[in-house]
Structure 1
């Protein structure tokens, strides 16, 4: 898996919405009980029970989205001792949950530092250009629509699942889909793990296309163990939704700057003049 660090594609205006989304995700993460205090998310029972209750309240659950089957018993955030020993106490929910609204709140939840930082890195690198092309308001609407498409798309494919769906990945996948449509030849600096992290400058269609292929393969259950813990299908749906929504903007999109200097880790030779 390559790690993008910068794209060679300048913007004309400050991407305030992208910055605001990153800030909102970070603030919500820091306010999520039991997560921000540890890189691994923590294993303390009290912390785990608080986290389960918080996630159950605000995460999107496929069974709730498709069948509107809200559970009668949910984690309360308290600990107790039962026949099986210490554990999390469950009880009747003390809140009214709206499944459609949970798709929105789930977009700002993350399960750990790596989950958060990985998503925010992709949003920072590719979101600024998409926002620049669409404008602030349209980009915000686009982001939310892609997140909803990813959430409901995953739910339709897993209608009986009671596992919570969290993360901005589906919405950000839509941003990546829009980027590959609008600037397929833009150069992206990436780090490729090959003994050491090797810096390369590759076209966006290769970087993002490779990312999409990986998500599609993983969503089918191949090539990765424990695929059920990551909603790869949501990434695929969000990416396709972003491509479709951005396609009408392609004819009027200015091309990225011509690549100069280093290319694929080597300095390109200047062309001879005729």
Structure 2
């Protein structure tokens, strides 16, 4: 007698299933563990001299010395207010992005960091140092939004729409406005999220 074994990966992606809620729960716990690491890094930066790590690991547009910031800058923030502003949306969006699978979450994050970071390095203001996780946050927003279409996953689309409505005022930060805001990182992070959704879409 043959028994059918459910595909847990597919089941976890199906809204309303037990596996779906379990994957959301695991992802939420993981993201809640990641954010305190960012607070620890900021505490170390303050302890050794506020801005020291930002200068060492931030993106310095057009300068080869600041190219390593593509990898390090998302973990750094320009003060506690900057970090507090990023913490909640990072947990929310990161949870749903991670719930779609750990491997493609990591690859998607890498693509988002690369597109956003390199874009900032190429077109950013050379007289600035760019730090912060907001490029990745916008990337996760774009990732979830695009997954709704490329995977016909309406819960991903719904989550992106809901969080976009919660933080609608932040969406204006993809436009050239305040010089202290890296709109380039936000806009290109969003583009990186779209690209990652296509590259790492779930195959049916």
Q: 1:205 to 1:57 in 2, by over 3 A?
A: closer
Partner of 1:60: 59
Partner of 1:238: 189
Match of 1:104 among 71, 76, 83: 71
Runs of 4+ aligned structure 1 residues displaced above 6 Å come to none
Bigger fraction of residues in strand: 1
SS in structure 2 of the partner of residue 63 of structure 1: coil
The equivalences for 1:163-202 within 5 A come to 163-181=128-146, 182=148, 183-186=156-159
**What is the alpha-carbon root mean square deviation over aligned residues?**
2.9
Match of 2:127 among 162, 167, 188: 162
Bigger fraction of residues in helix: 2
> Is the 2:174–2:187 contact (alpha carbons within 8 Å) kept by the matching residues of 1?
yes
Q: 1:21 to 1:142 in 2, by over 3 A?
A: farther
2:201 maps to 1:249 = yes
> Is the 1:11–1:129 contact (alpha carbons within 8 Å) kept by the matching residues of 2?
no
The equivalences for 1:194-233 within 5 A come to 203-204=161-162, 207=165, 210=168, 213-217=171-175, 219=176, 221=177, 227-233=178-184
Q: Tell me the TM-score normalized by structure 2.
A: 0.72
Counterpart CA distance in 2 for 1:120 and 1:146 is: 18
Q: Tell me the TM-score normalized by structure 1.
A: 0.55
Q: 1:31 to 1:180 in 2, by over 3 A?
A: same
Between structure 1 and structure 2, the one with the greater Rg is: 1
Q: Which runs of no fewer than 5 residues in structure 2 stay unpaired? A: 1-14, 149-155
Aligned length: 175
